[in-house]
Structure 1
Amino acid sequence: MINGFSCRATVSACAVCVMSVLALTPAAAGQRPAVPAPPGPRAAVPPPSLLYDSGTQVRPRPGAPGLPDVSALSWLVADADSGEVLAASAAHRRLPPASTLKTLFALTLVPALPAGLQHRVRNEELEDIGEGSSLVGVKEGHTYSVADLWRGVFLSSGNDAVHVLASLGGGWEATAARMQAKARSLGALDTHVVSPDGYDTPGQVSSAYDLAVFGRAGLRDPDFARYCSTAEASFPGDGASYAIENTNRLLTGEDGVARYPGIIGVKNGYTSNAGNTLVAAAHQGGRTLVVTVLNPQAGGGLTVYEEARALLDWGFAAAGRVDPVGSLDGLRPRPRHPSAAPVAAATAPGHDSGWPDAAVMAGLAGLGAGTVTLVLRLKYGRGARG
């Protein structure tokens, strides 16, 4: 038998439970219900990236211009300011980059080596230059400024200048390791560096995506931007300097290739294994675009410039009339499946428990019903044991 004190204590405890439940439920009939707070802003969900999908990727809006015919094995066109990729084909396909890898080399070492530093070249710094390499004419025993050597890299694609700068940067292998680390820090995961000058070496690869990342990042460095946009310069020689000219035809307008309006430059390359490769940037109408074109399969050696021109023309015409297919801000996880993309769940402010609202209300309702039943049983003696 339950004594009076125990019964009263139990009823009191249950009353507290009922009151707690009522406090969590809507206002009773006859009382004005509280006005619910307006929903908080939800996080914008970016469209899924298409850059790991095969084939040409573009998201045109009504009225967008059609893409040009491009024969390159891989290409990409992006807004250099926002990082939005406007269109691409096989953006993450790993291919030999040739001298466009010098963009990563410069991105790594330009900030580390003062432009005015004078250096007398030693014989060992010019050893092991790959056969058939492009050269600017660096000579043992001559003194060059770091700025001279960078002009030799960007204008003449001089692998001799690259070897001397790599020596100043800690050595050939150490420079390759620094370049690899720099690529990873930018989210460029397709690049594997073996030879810092871009010379054909087994296992050395990059992608249209990664090279666009390097070009975009380089343009943010004033020294890099100045070197890559220089069309002509003087290079120290025996007793007198001699003229060197940039081999990027979009920048110089040589060999029947018209100079591109608003061209900034960046870097071109060629090897028998990589074919013709190009990273180019141009500025028009308040917008800067960066394009990469890797190994065109049609035409001759100048096709890479014409295909880059066509992509730049399309990109400027398509501004505001296409949705991005991805981003050059690569510090984001790769989707598990090619067509999948991570989507962050958006929750309203104050709802951080992870429990759905319906589940919470159902639980409270169940708690209230159970509490009332217990009170009635105690009141009428049902289920009491003697």
Structure 2
Amino acid sequence: MPCPAIAVPAGARAARPKPPAPDQQQREVGGAELASAGLTIPAGAPVPAKLTATSWLVADLGSGAVLGACGAHEYATPASVQKLLLAATYMPKLDPARMVEVTHADMDYEPGSSAVGLVEGSQYSIKTLWLSLLLKSGNDAANVLARVGGGTSDFRAGVEAMNAEARRLGAHQTHAVTPSGLDGPGQFTSAYDMALIARACYARADFRRYTATDTALIPPQRNGAGGFQLNNDNGLLHRYPGMLGGKTGFTDLAGQTYVGVAERNGRRLVVTLLGAESAPIGSYGEVTTLMDWGFALPGDVSVGQLIEPENADASPGAQLTPVAGPAPGESETSTFSAKRIVLTAGIATLLVALVLLGWARRVRVRSAAGNRDQERED
């Protein structure tokens, strides 16, 4: 059925960039039901309220089960939620204690767009840059992180690495042009892809700490630049019960975008929202509407699956076995250890089976030889 949509007055929405030609295989990643441009919800589930967002998705962050979606694989412009892809790419690789100096090239971002106020020639820790990125959506911080991560004089190599990470995660409809999410030609994502990227981010304890931080301090610099305080711009962090964090975004081409995660009774849901309008309830109102809808559903329903990176190259639409993510409070190390134990047990079981098979075969051979000897004696 069509997505429940609030009518947007003619001319109120900026013309969106022309998306790439649809790829049916990409549209079926995570399950054939997700290929629809319309509403996809479990049988018998209540229809969500009308929204202005052009596409959205609700999924269980632990099991990866997609609970519902509107145009899950429709191309959309990301705005600053693309900073999550930057975090997924480089947070595992950059030492948070490392000090880096801001260069002139890092100041190459759209005037008037969101920036923290980093000073050229000043030095900041990688940790401070992540806080600047996630609390204040600093486009200057995004440029520094992409440049340092890419190891070149500007952010272009960093953006190439972001696109490689998107492919590794199975987010094949995502193509970054800027590290910050500022609009660029050919820059797109989808609600499904952003859920994959968010799941990778929230699997990390350091990311969860950063995105849930209320305030942080930018230290004063030796060159005379003063220090100042950062406040978390995510208005839902303390307004929605169980909110663990989120990332906002806005550009004229993208409209309002949002990716957020909340937890109730040990169950974590992720909502991705693209192409929303500021009225009548804005992205915050639309996200909370979808969160409430998702938490009201039973825990065993789904219309698709967030694929695991190891399945990213599998045939789109294949029935993929859900793999549970870390339980609330569980570390990535313990999850890895559990998987290693399961793998070791599986190998041991296989070896035992092979030994038993060989033993049985030898018994059959000896038995057959004995039968032949018995026949000759008869």
Superposed pair shares fold, TM > 0.5 = yes
- Aligned pairs (5 A) from 1:103-142: 103-126=84-107, 128-142=108-122
Show the counterpart of 1:100: 81
Whether 1:159 aligns to 2:144 is no
- Aligned pairs (5 A) from 1:339-378: 341-342=317-318
**3-state SS, counterpart of residue 82 of structure 1:** coil
Contact (CA 8 Å) 1:77, 1:312: kept in 2 or not? yes
**3-state SS, counterpart of residue 265 of structure 1:** strand
Deviation at 1:333, TM superposition (A): 4.7
**3-state SS, counterpart of residue 51 of structure 1:** helix
Map Cα deviations across residues 245-290 of structure 1 (whole Å, 9 max, x no partner): 12221115xxxxxx11110113110001101000000011110000
- Aligned pairs (5 A) from 1:231-380: 231-237=214-220, 238=224, 240-252=226-238, 259-297=239-277, 299=279, 303-320=282-299, 323-329=301-307, 331=312, 333=314, 341-342=317-318
Aligned CA distance change for structure 1 residues 246 and 313 (closer, same or farther; 3 Å): same
Q: Let me know the Cα RMSD of the aligned residues.
A: 2.0
Task: Give the Cα separation in 2 of the matches to 1:246 and 1:343.
Answer: 40
Deviation at 1:140, TM superposition (A): 1.4
Structure with greater Cα Rg: 1
Show the counterpart of 1:16: none
Task: Give the Cα separation in 1 of the matches to 2:225 and 2:254.
Answer: 37
Task: Give the Cα separation in 1 of the matches to 2:32 and 2:302.
Answer: 8
Whether 1:201 aligns to 2:184 is yes
Show the counterpart of 1:84: 65
Contact (CA 8 Å) 1:103, 1:214: kept in 2 or not? yes
Code of the aligned partner of 1:251: L
Deviation at 1:112, TM superposition (A): 1.1
Contact (CA 8 Å) 1:65, 1:317: kept in 2 or not? no
Map Cα deviations across residues 199-224 of structure 1 (whole Å, 9 max, x no partner): 10010000111111111110011111
**3-state SS, counterpart of residue 269 of structure 1:** strand
Show the counterpart of 2:169: 186
Q: Which structure has more RCO (C-alpha within 8 Å, separation ≥ 6)? A: 1
Q: TM-score, normalised by structure 1?
A: 0.69
Task: Give the Cα separation in 2 of the matches to 1:79 and 1:332.
Answer: 22
Task: Give the Cα separation in 1 of the matches to 2:252 and 2:81.
Answer: 14
Task: Give the Cα separation in 2 of the matches to 1:342 and 1:100.
Answer: 28
Show the counterpart of 2:196: 213
Map Cα deviations across residues 57-97 of structure 1 (whole Å, 9 max, x no partner): 01134xx4442222210000000000000000001111110
Write out the 4+ residue segments of structure 1 that deviate beyond 6 Å after TM superposition: none
Deviation at 1:141, TM superposition (A): 2.0
Question: Unpaired segments of 5 or more residues in structure 1?
Answer: 1-46, 253-258, 336-340, 345-386
Show the counterpart of 1:69: 50
Code of the aligned partner of 1:96: T
Higher alpha-carbon deviation: 102-111 or 232-241 = 232-241
Deviation at 1:328, TM superposition (A): 1.0
